[in-house]
Structure 1
Amino acid sequence: MDPMNFVIGGSFLTHIERHQTSPPSVVVIGGGISGIAAARALSNASFNVILLESRNRIGGRVHTDYSFGCPVDMGASWLHGVCNENSLAPLIRHLGLRLYRTSDDNSVLYDHDLESYSLFDKNGHQVPQQLVIEVGQIFERILKETVKIRDEHIDDMSILQAISIVLDRHPELRQEGLAYEVLQWYICRMEAWFAADVDTISLKNWDQEHVLSGGHGLMVQGYYPLINALAKDLDIRLNHRVTKIVQHSNKVIVTVADGTSFIANAAIITVPLGVLQANLIDFEPSLPEWKLSAISDIGVGNENKIALRFDTVFWPNVEVLGIVAQTSYACGYFLNLHKATGYPVLVYMVAGRFAYSIEKLSDEEAAKFAMSELKKMLPHATEPVDYLVSHWGTDPNTLGSYSCDLVGKPADLYERLRAPVDNLYFAGEATSLDHSGSVHGAYSSGILAAEECQRHLSVQHGFSDVLNLVLREEMTEVMVPFQISRI
């Protein structure tokens, strides 16, 4: 009988004792990249590992959809930091996955450079590029001034409040007319980076993220080839929604929705922060207060995509098409996948409260709304032949897109979220101290949790196999260059 697939009855302690001499066993909860990375590392170290995933697919918030006849990432789609220091670099190079670089370092728009987009007003008139550049430079000046505001105030505030103080002090930075609308569009793009509204983003922490060098690159073939390579030959149980986790006698008993339970020496929990906040998993005994407060105090942002496939390309050959407006909420933008992949696909992207508003619509209504925005910019736009809509905020498997820093919260939240509770280990993008919200941050957190779990159980069980951190050791022996376009 498999010691990790034992349905609990009255004699389970006797059952555990019979398997003390076998390699340590670990249940990994969540089949996103952090869970898969943890399971891969522990499996390579000869541990007994089962991964439980609530969906009918792996990947979690990494989801490459192929229904258009081409890869479209409806969740994560960028590699943030196209450099060898990125923890995913060896795997991406080894698999020969192509990247399309959308920005160099220090772009005011984070993942796009200033020259890579065209902006339009609501009447379909293109905004002069010189005005876009000038307002972008002013936006950078405003953000630099907010640092002074932060230094002057002990208490935290929202970045929006700080911008308001800056504009009161420096009226020359205020914008009017079309320039004001362009400034709102820059704020809209800032909100997209954090997946949160600017009135909720922490002034204290908004610029404290450690962004790797090398700019940002779209995964041209999508993220699934990487996910599938990591998951190869792992024992993954799909449609296994975990509802309860019990710690008992140095064991962990993990129960799924149909009542089946799995017993292991430890568990690595990689479910999204939104799922933990919703208390969808019952912990026995309850998690300690320091852990619960970390779970509740980290913000969860929301970003959604409406992908539209067309028969022909009728839009400008730029990476981003944006519409400016009087408020950041009314601004919007489309990512032009044709520029990166050659397929006639535009992706409308919405964040924060707007992302939740979109989820109240049917998919058809959401696609029609995106088309109405597109026709404001390009009145002669043709109708799409197909569409896809994400629902990360209301999907019970995620309940949000990725973590963000809220106003006035303690500085040690991510450390507390990551910290183990006895033989329960935690991973996922929200546990990454330096790279939260990123795919490589999620991946690294899974590796880190596996390392800590492996060290603990190896000492406890006298099990000394070596933990390999990548698919195969020879992957790091030959330096394969990145395959990058738009250098």
Structure 2
Amino acid sequence: MSVIVIGAGMAGLKAASTLHKYGVKDIKVLESRDRIGGRLHTVTGFDGVRKYDLGASWHHDTLCNDLFFEECEVGGKFIFDDDFFIYIDQERGRVDRDPEMGLEIIDREISKFADMEYYQKLGTPDVSFQELTLRYLYEKRQFLTDDQIRYSTQVARYLELWHGLDWKLMSAKDTYFGHQGRNAMALYYGDVVERIAKMIPGECIELNAEVQGIKREKSKTVVTTKDGRQFSADYCIVTVPQSVLELSVKDETKKETGRIEFTPKLNANIQAGFDLVHFGGMGKVIFEFDQTCWSKESSKLVTLASTSDKFAAEVRGSKSFDELRSSVNASDAAQALEGRNCWNQPLYFINLAKTVGTASFMMLMQSPLTEYIEAMGQDQEKVFEFFRPALDAIMKNMQGKPVVNGLAQVPEGVDPSKTPVLRNIIVTSWTQDKYSRGAYTACRPGDDALEMIVALEQGQSPSVRFAGEHTIVDGAGGVNGAWSSGLREAEYVAEQLNLKPAEK
């Protein structure tokens, strides 16, 4: 066999399809799950018609996204859904585009403040995003109103829903990043996955084939699956997520599902790289309603974490930054003791009624909330009660009525055309899934993902290579990054085999 590809996510499928294009016939793709797609997973809703992407949803950086360009060429479906954000506070209601507060303007200044701290100065220590925003408030408090102090950093926290981490866990240095163009929502990634998979002969892909060992033997690489089968090949491209690959460097994870035993062990550069990067816990909850009976003003709504006038007073009255930081830490600790609720953190709701005409909200959440909600599994009633206050706040501020629970059945006397009747809830399971263990690469204070990216791009050896969103700079964390890395590794192998693309 010429090549074994481990994982049938975007990186693995792109690698295998490209190799097939180069004329490589003896390819084997080994996938642990009972489906292809990896962290791309399209499902249908309660009516059997609606569709949702539980994994990635967007083509990002559409000015330079080669996967997006390919989708355009083949007639792939998508919609540009960039929109103005609506920000909703628990007490005040809508605070977006407020002429007095101008929170969007302050948000842009916080972004510039971060840029100046980390990219126009030398030696600024990396801290949490929360600490960075506190420092901004402390240093610029004389130029800010009490309302701006109270709400501006809560608006900035929408970035938690990019990285999949709470702001106390996020690296301030790596929080902001430039976007190379608009975002296009894929309709849907399941179709993209199927299109690429069709370029690979069906017999080349094996499902339910968990790999447990990769061993270098003389001129071949031997791959062993959980059921004891062995496959031998000239090259092996490993596309498992960073969170799963990391299990291979820890002795205490030898019995963990998904762990791959490398012989020889992963090289020193790769092992060192794992010390400088983490994994985000982005999750989703889909709220499906009977009919749309709320405003389509915007497709993007964020419910802000609760705050109070006391916070503004603390910022104003602190005699030093250390005093302010200690006060905020004490308040956070007290809040934690009160228990978790939907107003402890920002939540990002995609109003699918505007985007695609579906009477649903797709909500994005971050770690550690994701782990908490995903652990509830399929307890829809419990999930609904947790998020109900946020849903009602959205309805109140979007010309709707309070949500009616219709999970079991639509209550008598309720008109679904006038009252939002919740019919179904779909919760992701990425943090609970042993083959994903989270969402995608994310940085905590002090991390430097570049070292791991470089180490994995260089490979374990000339014959054992890596692909995935965690192995590339351009498109890191995104589907286009995974796609490009799969292409990169396929072209590397083709070059080693002195191959050229087969004629059409």
Tell me which interval the TM-score lies in, with the shorter structure as reference length. Answer: 0.7 to 0.9
CA 1:131/1:239 → structure 2, altered by over 3 Å: closer, same or farther? farther
Q: Which moved more, 1:318-327 or 1:232-241?
A: 318-327
Question: Is the counterpart of residue 290 in structure 1 residue 269 in structure 2?
Answer: yes
CA 1:404/1:247 → structure 2, altered by over 3 Å: closer, same or farther? same
1:107-161 CA-to-partner distances (Å, cap 9, x unmatched) read xxxxxx4x2x333332583336325981011011122112232215343323332
The corresponding residue for 2:476 is 436
The corresponding residue for 1:416 is 455
The corresponding residue for 2:14 is 37
The corresponding residue for 1:362 is 377
Q: 1:380 aligns with which of 379, 402, 416?
A: 402
In the alignment, structure 2 segments of 5+ residues that lack a partner are: 249-258, 308-342, 396-400, 404-419
Question: Is the counterpart of residue 77 in structure 1 residue 77 in structure 2?
Answer: no
Question: Is the counterpart of residue 55 in structure 1 residue 33 in structure 2?
Answer: yes
Question: Is the counterpart of residue 405 in structure 1 residue 443 in structure 2?
Answer: yes
Q: How does 1:80-229 map to 2 (within 5 A)?
A: 80-83=60-63, 85-103=64-82, 113=83, 115=84, 117-122=85-90, 125-127=93-95, 129-130=97-98, 134-150=102-118, 151-172=121-142, 174=144, 176-177=146-147, 179-180=148-149, 182-207=151-176, 209=177, 211-213=179-181, 215-219=182-186, 221-229=187-195
User: CA separation in 2, counterparts of 1:198 and 1:135?
Assistant: 18
Question: Is the counterpart of residue 454 in structure 1 residue 494 in structure 2?
Answer: yes
Q: 1:307 aligns with which of 257, 262, 286?
A: 286
Question: Is the counterpart of residue 353 in structure 1 residue 398 in structure 2?
Answer: no
Q: Which amino acid aligns with 2:486?
A: G
User: CA separation in 1, counterparts of 2:439 and 2:100?
Assistant: 29
1:263-282 CA-to-partner distances (Å, cap 9, x unmatched) read 11111000001111233111
Deviation at 1:398, TM superposition (A): 0.4
Deviation at 1:377, TM superposition (A): 3.0
Q: Which amino acid aligns with 1:337?
A: L
1:191-214 CA-to-partner distances (Å, cap 9, x unmatched) read 11111222333333334x56322x
CA 1:131/1:348 → structure 2, altered by over 3 Å: closer, same or farther? farther
Q: Which moved more, 1:416-425 or 1:132-141?
A: 132-141
The corresponding residue for 2:256 is none
Question: Is the counterpart of residue 320 in structure 1 residue 300 in structure 2?
Answer: yes
Deviation at 1:433, TM superposition (A): 1.3
SS of the equivalent of 2:66 reads coil
Report if the CA contact (8 A) 1:123-1:376 is conserved: no
Deviation at 1:227, TM superposition (A): 0.8
Report if the CA contact (8 A) 2:80-2:184 is conserved: yes
User: CA separation in 1, counterparts of 2:454 and 2:491?
Assistant: 16
Deviation at 1:29, TM superposition (A): 0.4
Q: Which amino acid aligns with 2:436?
A: T
Deviation at 1:297, TM superposition (A): 2.4
CA 1:256/1:367 → structure 2, altered by over 3 Å: closer, same or farther? farther
1:238-261 CA-to-partner distances (Å, cap 9, x unmatched) read 111111111111211111111111
CA 1:181/1:61 → structure 2, altered by over 3 Å: closer, same or farther? farther
1:371-416 CA-to-partner distances (Å, cap 9, x unmatched) read 3420233252233212211011121010110102232234422111
In the alignment, structure 1 segments of 5+ residues that lack a partner are: 5-24, 104-112, 459-463, 474-487
Q: Which moved more, 1:317-326 or 1:42-51?
A: 317-326
User: CA separation in 1, counterparts of 2:145 and 2:207?
Assistant: 53
The corresponding residue for 2:311 is none
Deviation at 1:299, TM superposition (A): 1.4
Deviation at 1:302, TM superposition (A): 0.9
Identity over aligned residues, as a percent?
26
Report if the CA contact (8 A) 1:182-1:325 is conserved: no
1:54-94 CA-to-partner distances (Å, cap 9, x unmatched) read 111111111111244222011100110223x3111342113
Report if the CA contact (8 A) 1:80-1:438 is conserved: yes
Report if the CA contact (8 A) 2:89-2:303 is conserved: yes
User: CA separation in 1, counterparts of 2:7 and 2:100?
Assistant: 43
TM-score of the superposed pair, with normalisation by structure 1: 0.82
TM-score of the superposed pair, with normalisation by structure 2: 0.79
CA 1:120/1:146 → structure 2, altered by over 3 Å: closer, same or farther? closer
Report if the CA contact (8 A) 2:281-2:367 is conserved: yes
Deviation at 1:181, TM superposition (A): 5.6
User: CA separation in 2, counterparts of 1:246 and 1:418?
Assistant: 19
SS of the equivalent of 1:88 reads helix
User: CA separation in 1, counterparts of 2:476 and 2:96?
Assistant: 36
Deviation at 1:28, TM superposition (A): 0.3
CA 1:267/1:147 → structure 2, altered by over 3 Å: closer, same or farther? same
The corresponding residue for 1:16 is none
User: CA separation in 2, counterparts of 1:260 and 1:428?
Assistant: 25
Report if the CA contact (8 A) 1:306-1:370 is conserved: no
Q: Which amino acid aligns with 2:128?
A: S
Q: 1:231 aligns with which of 183, 197, 202?
A: 197
1:170-206 CA-to-partner distances (Å, cap 9, x unmatched) read 11455635x5564344233111111122233333333
Deviation at 1:448, TM superposition (A): 0.5
CA-atom RMSD, angstroms? Answer: 2.3
User: CA separation in 2, counterparts of 1:120 and 1:28?
Assistant: 46
Q: 2:348 aligns with which of 309, 329, 333?
A: 333
Q: Which amino acid aligns with 1:294?
A: G
SS of the equivalent of 1:436 reads coil
1:300-357 CA-to-partner distances (Å, cap 9, x unmatched) read 1011111111111122202023322326843323111121211111112101222122
Q: Which moved more, 1:258-267 or 1:164-173?
A: 164-173
Report if the CA contact (8 A) 2:117-2:124 is conserved: no
User: CA separation in 1, counterparts of 2:163 and 2:480?
Assistant: 16
Report if the CA contact (8 A) 2:302-2:348 is conserved: yes
SS of the equivalent of 2:470 reads helix
The corresponding residue for 1:445 is 485
